[in-house]
Amino acid sequence: MARPVQYNIYGQTDVKLVKEGPEGYMGEGFFGTSLDKVVGLARKNSIWPLPFATSCCGIEFMATMGSHYDLARFGSERVGFSPRQCDLLMVMGTIAKKMAPVVKQVYLQMAEPRWVLAMGACASSGGIFDTYSVLQGIDQIIPVDVYIPGCPPRPEAVIDGIMKIQDLIGKESLRRRNSDKYKQLMESYGIQ
């Protein structure tokens, strides 16, 4: 949450909204908090998305990256196309069953910690394509953290989805990925 702060520069008083930092103890010239909160703050404000766009949702993502909506404000300016350098897989559009192994391989090539965002009705549930050849949601092959509804979703919805991912990343414990519950989730998808 942002809070108003009054400051004085060159004799002029102004009010500016300042984004809150992590919870902690503040003193004269120092700030103390836990390592989890500092790492969460750094991770959530430096997301490197990997777009996997196959249809019209990719066009909406392009609009979101443009100057009018400017996804770079949220720390997602560097869009990567190498799975080994990215930590957020954004699956957009219709995924055919023949493409499912490719999506899973891209997911597996990403380094931990990694997150997945399913953008649009097709990636989330197969959309209007209830046919034998279309995967009825990518959550059948990889775990999904955030779903963005719409056909195609508006850029505002994409920004909301990114903000939800940021909240999830900021609150995630450093030990979550080593927990038995997380290992069971990965094993349910056939991921070691």
Q: Is 122 assigned to a binding site? A: yes
How far is residue 162 from each of residues 52, 64, 74, 90, 136, measured CA to CA in Å? 15, 11, 8, 10, 23
Q: Is 56 assigned to a binding site? A: yes
Q: Is 86 assigned to a binding site? A: no
Cis ω on the peptide bond leading into residue 113 (within 30° of 0)? yes
Q: Which helix (H) or strand (E) holds 54?
A: none
Number of H helices, E strands in the chain: 6, 8
Q: Are 91 and 123 a contacting pair, CB within 8 Å?
A: yes
Which residues line the annotated binding site for [4Fe-4S] cluster? 56-57, 122, 151
Which residues line the annotated binding site? 56-57, 122, 151
